[in-house]
Amino acid sequence: MNAITPPGEAKRQRIFRERAELLAREPEQHGAEEELLDVVEFLLSGEQYAIESVYVTAVHSLKDLTQLPCTPPFVLGVMNMRGKILSVVDLRVFFELPRRALSDLNMLIVLQNDTMTFAIPADGIVGTRGIPRASLLATLPTLTGIRGEYLLGITPQRLVVLDGCKLLGDSRMVVHEEV
């Protein structure tokens, strides 16, 4: 019951101290010479991915998805975001990732370049961060096929960075089917 009582004086002091320490910490020194790559980090099928912020216009919650008939399996459907119609592409299908039974898929990341606009769903948005470009490792040799094509690299923290330019420029994304 003491949970609903206001925190005691000692606890308050502790919280204040923690905050003070956090503010007093030196920011990470990446080196001025180092080029930082701004990415948006997100979760998909239990793994952490990231994509360059340059190609991201917005993140949004996935609501009111309308399924489209006569489309390839990776097209989940279309949705209305602030008056714009976006196609939603399921990267799991695209990357041939195994489908986990329970997946939230309640977030949406809108990708855009000069020619193409679409959205990919995500289980959760972690946030934005800067990654030193030098720290990126080349793609793993195990990653072959389509997954290998769209990877920009992997950080030492096992964060998979996707190549937004390739994704947006892929001709397979342009669906033209007649039934």
**Interface with other proteins (CB under 8 A):** 1, 3-4, 38, 40, 53-54, 56-61, 107, 125, 127-128
Which residue lies nearer to other proteins by CB, 57 or 87? 57
- Contact of 159 with 128, CB cutoff 8 Å: no
Q: How many helices (H) and strands (E) does the chain have?
A: 4, 10
Q: In angstroms, rounded to a whole number, what is the distance separating the alpha carbons of residues 62 and 109? A: 9
Name the minimum Å distance from CB 36 to other proteins.
Answer: 10
Q: How far is the CB of 108 from other proteins (least distance, A)?
A: 10
Taking the complex as a whole, the smallest distance from the CB of residue 137 to other proteins amounts, in Å, to: 23
Integer Cα distance of 135 and 153 in angstroms: 9
Instruction: Quote the least distance from Cβ 21 to other proteins, whole Å.
Output: 14
Question: From CA 110, how far away is CA 155, in angstroms rounded?
Answer: 23
Token pair in block for residue 143: 């990653």
The nearer residue to other proteins, 40 or 162, going by C-beta atoms, is 40
Is the Cβ of residue 69 or residue 127 nearer to other proteins in the bound state?
Answer: 127
Q: Which residue has the tokens 């793993």?
A: 140
Closer residue to other proteins, CB minimum distance, 107 or 160: 107
